Structure 1
Amino acid sequence: MASAPHVDPPRRLVRALGADSPWLASLPRLLAGSLARWELTAERVVAPGGRGSLVVLVRRADGTPAALKLRADGAAAEAAALARWDGHGAVRLLDAAPRDGALLLERLHAEVSLRSLPEAKANLEAASALRRLWVPPAPTGAEHPFTTVAEHTARAVDRIREHVPGEAGALVDEALEARSALLDDAPEELLLHGDFRQGAVLSADPGRAHWLVVGPDPLVGERAYDLARLVRDRLHDLGATSGASSLTRRRVRKLADSLEVDRERLRAWSLYRAVESASRHFAAGARADGEMLVEFAGWL
């Protein structure tokens, strides 16, 4: 095996996992093993990157470009989702070693996401990209390996109650009541991206769809849950405008109608997901971001 190369993880990743993270300490070994396994030559680390993974631009033995992604956790689920999509609307999975958290992916243009477009155009392209991902999680009659929205959100209930400040108690109650009602009346079970936003849609080379989705944390559930994260995209820009509340409700209507999703279900999931995300920010000490998300939830 090749000697462990020097790795400078992006600051965003270090902040998210903590400088003393055992996984960060293991990165040189994991990277060296993946480079050797697939006969890759490393070019550079993608920055700012994600909060739970390292992406390295590489060349394969035949000289073709690719991207090596090392995930702290969740590699098996991402690999399964990408294999299910098989390049239709999403980055193509070339190979995987889930036990090492390693995914070998086709290379996209990491520096060009939908966030480079004006908001209206970005949302149109986002809706088109997302529509292609909503497929049954497995062939008819087969089992799927994915966590459901019900299971995923159940893990957050205690954290929401513990970490969202008491003055937002009415919003917390509404969010959790909405979650229960939505799950009791779930209309469909489709494969979802799980963390869909404009920044997760990257430009591709000619010969592929112009925009392809990356970075899924896949779940199985209804479309409105997936679309709800997109509702609050560019949140700080939204908060800086006058009439943010009415603009938010208009965004819900436009996105729901463009993808034939029930408006009320999208509004309710958007409320829940904002409060849940706020709880994570409060728990991590990012109070300003948590308060911004609570304010957004109030606009809904």
Structure 2
Amino acid sequence: MAFEPPQRLVRALGETAPDGDDWLEKLPEAAHQAVALRELTVERVQVPGGRSSLVMLVRRADGTPAVLKLAPPRARPESERAALAHWAGTGAVQLLSEPPVEGVLLLERLHPDVSVRSLPEAKALLEAAGTLRRLWVEPPDEHPFETVAARTERQATAMRASGFTEVAALVEAALAAREELLAAPPERRLLHGTFRQSKVLAGERMPWLAVGPDPVVGECAFDLARLVRDRVEDLIASPSGAATTRRRVKRLAESLDVDQERLRGWTLFRAVESGVRALRVGRPKDAELLLEFAGWL
């Protein structure tokens, strides 16, 4: 079977590929090796798939369905492995036992085409928030995970260097919010890092389980901030989008016992950071949506 990466993955990795990176070129052979080593039968490559990894639906030698995931080092797959091992299936997809190979994960099979986004919006937010709450646990001692402070420092540096004068005021507001938030973080938890409705899939063990973490250690409001802007295109298209966004911040903060102003601040920072990054890599439509949303906060 040919293991050609989906075009969505090719485009996304191409936006951030460092000079000389050849992971995509080596991917078909790496996939063949990963399948053969584990004596797997491949059913199909998941399409359109994700933006940072190749995902294949497979069966193990005993017929058990599973998922094989291959990701480049810049997607931090070993950090994902460590987080999934720590969660041990509570709120997240289960990491299956195997001899670990760098950049390759064998995972419990969920229902890959059924995410919480298939639910009506209010129900989807409720189910997603409930899933996220289960992931917020104490990190292990001497953990390998990046901190919110370190991750956002890299992002802040890129924002300062962007040079997009038309969004300079939003960038300054986002950077100021970050500085204030980092001055006194209220808790230290293991976070999903990139949580949104599409990262919550239907399962058998539990109705909904999270997938695809980019784990980070920090305060819960940082994790919840990405969920606030879910379905941003619908918010922007709505005449009441700004009011709906503010109500969503209030409702999610109250339901998960997160400080509302801290959630608003991290939502602002993360939306502006994503918008500036979209401008930088040539996705102006995405940038326009994100930055308009940020202006409502």
Structure-1-length-normalised TM-score: 0.94
**Paired residue for 1:156?**
155
User: Is the aligned partner of 1:253 residue 2:255?
Assistant: no
CA displacement at 1:292 relative to structure 2: 1.4
The answer to whether the 8 A contact 2:78-2:102 is kept is no
Q: Where does 1:130-149 land on structure 2 (aligned, <5 Å)?
A: 130-138=132-140, 142-149=141-148
Moved more, 73-82 or 35-44: 35-44
The aligned amino acid for 1:33 is Q
Correspondent of 1:94 among 93, 96, 99 = 96
- Using the alignment, how far apart are the partners of 1:50 and 1:72 within structure 2? 13
**Paired residue for 2:262?**
265
CA displacement at 1:278 relative to structure 2: 0.9
**Paired residue for 1:15?**
11
Task: Say which SS state the counterpart of residue 199 (structure 1) adopts.
Answer: helix
The aligned amino acid for 2:244 is L
Q: Deviations over 1:221-279 (max 9, x none)?
A: 00000000000000001100012111110000000001000000000000000011112
The aligned amino acid for 2:157 is D
- Using the alignment, how far apart are the partners of 2:47 and 2:77 within structure 1? 20
- Using the alignment, how far apart are the partners of 1:70 and 1:96 within structure 2? 14
The answer to whether the 8 A contact 2:114-2:201 is kept is yes
* Structure 1: gaps spanning 5 or more residues: none
Q: Where does 1:218-229 land on structure 2 (aligned, <5 Å)?
A: 218-229=215-226
Q: Deviations over 1:161-210 (max 9, x none)?
A: 233621222211111011011011101110000000000000002xx110
Q: CA RMSD for the aligned pairs?
A: 1.5
**Paired residue for 1:24?**
24
**Paired residue for 1:239?**
236
Q: Deviations over 1:5-63 (max 9, x none)?
A: 42121110011123996111111221122112211111100011111100000110101
* Structure 2: gaps spanning 5 or more residues: none
Structure-2-length-normalised TM-score: 0.95
Correspondent of 1:104 among 103, 106, 118 = 106
**Paired residue for 1:294?**
291
Q: Deviations over 1:53-75 (max 9, x none)?
A: 00000110101100000011211
Q: Deviations over 1:73-122 (max 9, x none)?
A: 21100000000000001000004666531000000001000110110000
Distance 1:200 1:97, change over 3 A: farther
**Paired residue for 1:76?**
78
The answer to whether the 8 A contact 1:55-1:68 is kept is yes
The answer to whether the 8 A contact 1:97-1:103 is kept is no
The answer to whether the 8 A contact 1:91-1:106 is kept is yes
- Using the alignment, how far apart are the partners of 1:186 and 1:12 within structure 2? 36
**Paired residue for 1:85?**
87
Task: Say which SS state the counterpart of residue 50 (structure 2) adopts.
Answer: coil
Distance 1:279 1:289, change over 3 A: same
- Using the alignment, how far apart are the partners of 2:247 and 2:162 within structure 1? 30
- Using the alignment, how far apart are the partners of 1:99 and 1:39 within structure 2? 14
- Using the alignment, how far apart are the partners of 2:201 and 2:290 within structure 1? 25
- Using the alignment, how far apart are the partners of 1:231 and 1:98 within structure 2? 35
The answer to whether the 8 A contact 1:109-1:203 is kept is yes
